Structure 1
Amino acid sequence: MKDLAFENQSFLWGNEAGPIRILSEYLHPKAELKAHGITDTIVVFGSARIPSPEAKKVGGYSPLNELSQYYEEAREVSRLISEWADVLKQEIPDRNLHICTGGGPGIMEAGNRGAKEAGSKSVALNIVLPHEQNPNPYVNPELTFEFHYFFMRKLWFMKTCRGMIAFPGGFGTFDELFETLTLVQTGKKSPIPILLYGKKFWSEVINFKKLAEMRLISEEDLHLFGYADSPIEALRFFQEKIRFELTHSEGTKT
């Protein structure tokens, strides 16, 4: 007996079923986030390579060890934000703010770990890569989503995003940061607070002021983001700048 079309793995993974796979990566997270009452997120980006204290101890010397402070600070930022979110829930009962990460190791792990230490759940948007990126041990399985398509994962990073924080990272972090800046700059994403954590790092690797001087971006674009160098600074940044006036469906134009 032939399989039903929606049970036929050969068909579902074929070229003709591409739109079905894409639609599934939209509808499944949408249904699950709604079921768990997740209305808003603060997205934590940063390098997957920055080691945890535990990994640093067993891994021997690496230049990346010099950046391990950012793991601990991302962990603390996420803990503080998650605790603040619990207070917000009492003040604004129809909003439910959570940490959201890419679900992998490094800074992503620190974000999920900090939320868990605060007694809060967090969202993890993992991507399936040729070299397998497994979800870190601090994710909540019911809020962990595996993506085949980068662009669908990007959509879900932004769909519920009310603020984002970028820790030091490489190509992936830069990709997500500039994607977010571009969406806000062009009005495709409603304005949100964007925070670059570690001013020295970001000032050394990207000369935003030079871009403005050369008229490649406008002076106003320099106000699309801010900096922080401590978890408390980061928390205060979001406490001052996050706005919840928009409904869940109005936040991202998709």
Structure 2
Amino acid sequence: MGDGSKKKAHVEKIKKAFKDKNWNEIKSADSWVIFKVMSEFVEGFEKLAKIGPCVSIFGSARTKPDHKYYKMAEEISAKLVRHGYGVITGGGPGIMEAGNKGAHSEKGKSVGLNIDLPFEQNNNIYIDQDKLINFDYFFVRKVMFVRYSQGFIVMPGGFGTLDEMFEALTLIQTHKIEKFPIVMVGKDYWSGLVDWLKNVLLTEKNISEADLDLFHLVETEEEAVEVIDKFYNEYKLSPNF
């Protein structure tokens, strides 16, 4: 399909989405959505309430197995299991696969919160089959990550990775959830973003200086796990809200 055909198909899809509906049609559709959302919350709460302390690993679905960040995520995950944690990922390929693979290699809990996407995402083979949950709604999936993760390991990634990280930072900043460690791995990758937070957001007084302490920037696998361990030497492990 050429670029012109793709654009035309995209325009038709948008037109279809904005097609006029009467209020009864909208109300009926909304009712079904409510039940679907409820079912996803119920399944998530029931399964994840049983898994115990876990750390979530985020990062790009596009990272290949021979990439250094894939290997780092795999090793971080294995170390977390050896330190008594399970591992939660988004269930897909790339960094998510590396996280599940590391947990699986150490016979630890390997959880996958998979999202149904029209491209690139299928659940990886390293998830415990009784700990694989499939979601249609990003917002339900995000609740599960925040509620049942005792820490976030944020590997290099794209919009989805940034979305998860800033969601957690916002909830902690606004005291909607208890503080938990957020660890950004890879100084070369993240330092530009951190500089922007300091030089723009902080300078413009859109965040406070204390907000910069809500995350940790590290370079090695050992440092990443150390941040998690150090935090829970002081605080009790529990769901976040």
**TM-score normalised by length of structure 1:** 0.79
Query: Of the candidates 213, 223, 228, which is equivalent to residue 233 of structure 1?
Result: 223
Q: Which residue of 1 aligns with 2:183?
A: 195
Q: Which residue of 2 aligns with 1:30?
A: 45
Pairing 1:104-123 to 2, within 5 Å after superposition: 104-123=92-111
Query: Of the candidates 45, 54, 71, which is equivalent to residue 41 of structure 1?
Result: 54
Pairing 1:1-254 to 2, within 5 Å after superposition: 14-34=29-49, 37-53=50-66, 68-85=67-84, 97-131=85-119, 133-206=121-194, 207-210=196-199, 211-242=201-232, 244-245=235-236, 247-248=238-239, 251-252=240-241
- SS for the counterpart of 2:152 is strand
Per the TM alignment, residue 14 of structure 1 is displaced from its structure 2 partner at its CA by 4.6
CA–CA separation in structure 1 for the residues paired with 2:230 and 2:104: 24
CA–CA separation in structure 2 for the residues paired with 1:148 and 1:200: 34
Per the TM alignment, residue 202 of structure 1 is displaced from its structure 2 partner at its CA by 0.6
- SS for the counterpart of 1:162 is coil
Aligned residues: 211
Q: Which residue of 2 aligns with 1:65?
A: none
- SS for the counterpart of 2:83 is helix
CA–CA separation in structure 2 for the residues paired with 1:196 and 1:103: 19
CA–CA separation in structure 1 for the residues paired with 2:120 and 2:157: 19
- SS for the counterpart of 1:203 is helix
Per the TM alignment, residue 32 of structure 1 is displaced from its structure 2 partner at its CA by 2.0
- Percent identity of paired positions between Structure 1 and Structure 2: 40
Per the TM alignment, residue 159 of structure 1 is displaced from its structure 2 partner at its CA by 1.0
8 Å CA contact retained: 2:172, 2:178: yes
- SS for the counterpart of 2:178 is coil
Structure 1: gaps of 5 or more residues: 1-12, 54-67, 86-96
Structure 2: gaps of 5 or more residues: 1-27
RMSD: 1.6
